[in-house]
A and B are shown apart, each in its own frame.
Chain A
Amino acid sequence: MTSRTYKTSSAAVKVEAVVVTGGWGDFLINREEISSSIYYHASDFSRLGNHMFQVFHYNGEDILLLDFDRYLNKYFSITPSGKSCIIFFFDIRPGSPLKEQAALFMKTACGETALSNTAAVKITGTAALHHIPLKEFHFFPEPVRTPLVKQGILCLRITETAGIQYLIDLHTLMATQLERISTGYGNE
């Protein structure tokens, strides 16, 4: 019989996260959730409608797109500004509530029935990949933790330089916002 020694320190566990930075603060997205990204000049989106959700035509597909700037404006009272913006593309997870909500929205918005399995989020700002030690993440204190998690804001990281950073789950965040629209709150 042999014995083994394992490294068990949680300090060694790191999260590969995309840190999205604007003049407004930082948000973190788990790299695992993102399939690809593209930088655009902000002016390329000047003709984009003023709704939180849009239909974005890309590579011959109609893709559901969340304008995160509008989300920030609505819920954080932030008006992002800058010359560059990023679009993150991600695959909609099988069984995710987002799949059903996205299908409903696309059918209503453009009569699209053959739903792309890809969704996107547009953010004004810059992005960088960081390897962040798991121990630097903190849950929100109860009782505010539960409603924030339901909205897709999972936890936070506090840094001396950047202040507070929120880790968001794109699937949950988009699904809850689409549900608001479908229940009559509007795509404002």
Chain B
Amino acid sequence: MYIMDNDELIAKLESSSGEGEDTLSVEEEIIHKLLIFQIDDRKYAVYADLVKEIVINHDLYFIPFVPPYITGLINRQGQPYTVFDLKMLFTNERLQASKVMIMKSDSDFIAFMITDVAEISGIPSSGINLVVSSETESTFIGSCNLRGEEIFIINVQEIYNRLANDLQNI
């Protein structure tokens, strides 16, 4: 019988479980479906399963007492959605666009103005570089490399939280 102390036991267990994960990740790596969209020429992504629909040339209704990156409300089947201008949020410049990406949620009715949808792409987990931040909040979940271009993945929940936080100061 091979005798090992507890430290050695734990070390072997850790290394063996690590091997197991690697094997699993190679065989069953999760593919994330990302919707790549453009804000002007710049590409960004969101997880595709968070997107409900894309609408074109829809009326936007102004609302006061909100930060400038909120362009207004859009009506979808009687439900108003808050529309964000991500260009205003990121660069402090207003986006001129006619498409709106409606996000899927039962409680947070939000949408984003976009220039266009570029593509829907399957990216393996290993292809996504998650943001490592000491802060809990980050506008981006991470990034992926698509044909040599780095594309940032929007953290939808954090953008919603940012608005909630900013509204407290208005």
Contacts and interface: CB of A to CB of B under 8 A. Distances in A.
A142 B107 contact: yes
B63 A144 contact: yes
Interface in A39-96: 75-77
Contacts of A164: 61, 73, 75
Nearest to A74: B64
B80 interface: yes
Contacts of A144: 63, 66, 70, 82, 163, 167
Nearest to B170: A147
A141 B109 contact: yes
B110 A141 contact: yes
Interface string A128-152: 0000000000101111101110010
A109 interface: no
Interface string B69-107: 010010100111110000000000000000000000001
A102 to B, nearest CB: 22
Interface string B156-170: 000010011001001
A163 B73 CA distance: 11
A175 to B, nearest CB: 15
A141 B109 CA distance: 6
Given A141-B81, A141-B109, A156-B80, A151 B164 contact: no
Interface residues of A, number: 18
A164 B70 CA distance: 17
B108 A142 contact: yes
Contacts of B163: 143-144
B156 to A, nearest CB: 14
Given A141-B80, A143-B163, A147-B66, 19 more contacts: A76-B64, A138-B79, A140-B73, A141-B79, A141-B82, A141-B109, A142-B107, A142-B108, A142-B109, A143-B160, A144-B66, A144-B167, A147-B170, A148-B64, A158-B75, A158-B80, A163-B61, A164-B61, A164-B73
Interface of A: 75-77, 138, 140-144, 146-148, 151, 153, 156, 158, 163-164
Q: Across chains A and B, which 5 residue pairs bring their CB atoms closest together, nearest first?
A: A141-B109, A143-B164, A75-B64, A164-B61, A158-B75
